[in-house]
Amino acid sequence: MTKLRKQRRRKVYKHNVNRKRLRNRQTSKGSIGCKEIKNAWDQKKSVQANLSEMGLSYDPNQTIKIPKRKKQLQEAIGVIKNDGQVELDKSGKQSKKYIAEALEADAKAPREKKFRLPKSQVEWLTYLIKKYGTDYKAMARDSKNYYQETWKQLRQKIRTFRKIPEQYEEFLRESGVQPIDSDGNATDDEL
């Protein structure tokens, strides 16, 4: 009787599982984020075949093998001769090596920094700069310092704010405050 009870307990239907979504998740190959790979992807081929055609690595452990210590010693003695590199594409099929080059060029391209501070934090920092200038210890004692940030934390936030030219220059234009140099002192010249 215990055997039947265990079998019955194991076969409980789970009402909270969406079977269709579960099946789709198991059978899908995932979405490809890179447009170069997405355009050259062949749905009829396996992942490994697609990546090897593009000149990309499916398994980095196979592509860049870590040499065994025993083999290194044998090569040093002269038992095994080192052949050099192994050719990846031995078949006469058309390869898609240009994709690896395009990915490399895209990775090396300079990126535009899009870091911006939130509007609320910019307002808070501009309020502090207008009221106290560079007196960070007075900023820390301000009654509106709700998060109880220390003077060093506030100094670092203001330095970060100054490194974002779009937001800091807009602040300088709107208020007649002089720019602050890297030492925390007010400068005479505009940016």
Q: What is the pLDDT of residues 25-62, one digit of tens each?
A: 888 867 888 888 888 888 888 889 999 899 899 998 88
pTM: 0.43
Structurally, how many domains does the chain consist of?
A: 2
Residues 100 and 127 in one domain: no
Q: Which residue has the higher pLDDT, 170 or 182?
A: 170
Residue 189 pLDDT > 50: no
Residues 101 and 44 in one domain: yes
Burial class (CB in 10 A: 0-12, 13-18, 19+), 164: middle
Asked whether residue 11 is domain-assigned, the answer is no
Q: Which of 143, 131, 141, 137 is nearest to 175 (CA)?
A: 131
Which tokens go with 42?
A: 């062949």
What gap in Å lies between CA 39 and CA 106, rounded to an integer? 15
**Containing structural domain, residue 67:** 33-84+93-109
Residue 149 pLDDT > 90: yes
pLDDT at position 185, please? 64
CA torsion, ordered 17, 21, 27, 32, to nearest 10 deg: -130
Residues 37 and 102 in one domain: yes
Q: Alpha helices, DSSP H only, in the chain?
A: 2-10, 19-27, 35-40, 47-54, 60-63, 69-77, 98-108, 119-132, 136-140, 151-162, 165-174
Chain mean pLDDT for the chain: 82
Q: Which residue has the higher pLDDT, 68 or 9?
A: 68
Residues 62 and 125 in one domain: no
Residues 125 and 170 in one domain: yes
pLDDT-derived band at 83, boundaries 50, 70, 90: low
pLDDT-derived band at 148, boundaries 50, 70, 90: very high
Asked whether residue 123 is domain-assigned, the answer is yes
Asked whether residue 1 is domain-assigned, the answer is no
Asked whether residue 4 is domain-assigned, the answer is no
Asked whether residue 59 is domain-assigned, the answer is yes
pLDDT-derived band at 68, boundaries 50, 70, 90: confident
pLDDT at position 134, please? 92
What gap in Å lies between CA 56 and CA 51, rounded to an integer? 5
Residues 37 and 73 in one domain: yes
